[in-house]
């Protein structure tokens, strides 16, 4: 596997078969040629620890949630920057949904309760 986009994942329990990450991102109209993917692939090449892409995804999920309820996360925060980094499009609600998709794809979730 040379890039994160070549990884096969099972996106939801409803889907029996697995899909490539790039296919899922294309379905949700998320650009795959972005700084986010480059940061993630760079981390895979180096290995270890929390990477910049994961950190930015976690923080951006928080920030877009605040923005959707009417709070600006900080004075310099702009939705345009978030869209450019992650390759997402649409209004703030659509961006929130797409960030949730990226979170589910790229951050391992524990299914143990």
Indicate if the pLDDT at residue 14 is higher than 90.
Answer: no
pTM for the complete prediction? 0.78
**What was the pLDDT predicted at 43?**
73
Considering only 14-23, 51-60, 84-93, which range has the smallest mean pLDDT?
Answer: 14-23
57-99 tens-digit pLDDT: 999 999 999 999 999 999 999 999 999 999 999 999 999 999 9
Contact assessment for residue 12 and residue 24, using Cβ atoms and an 8 Å cutoff: no
Contact assessment for residue 82 and residue 62, using Cβ atoms and an 8 Å cutoff: no
**What was the pLDDT predicted at 50?**
72
């Amino acid at each position: 596997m040379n890039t994160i986009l070549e990884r096969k994942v099972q996106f939801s329990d409803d889907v029996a078969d697995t899909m490539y990450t790039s296919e899922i991102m294309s379905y949700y109209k998320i650009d795959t040629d972005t700084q986010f993917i480059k940061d993630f692939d760079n981390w895979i090449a180096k290995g270890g620890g929390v990477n910049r892409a994961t950190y930015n995804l976690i923080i951006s999920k928080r920030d877009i949630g605040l923005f959707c309820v009417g709070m600006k996360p900080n004075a310099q925060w702009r939705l345009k920057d978030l869209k450019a980094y992650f390759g997402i499009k649409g209004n703030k609600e659509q961006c929130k949904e797409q960030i949730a998709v990226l979170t589910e794809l790229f951050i391992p979730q524990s299914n143990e309760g």
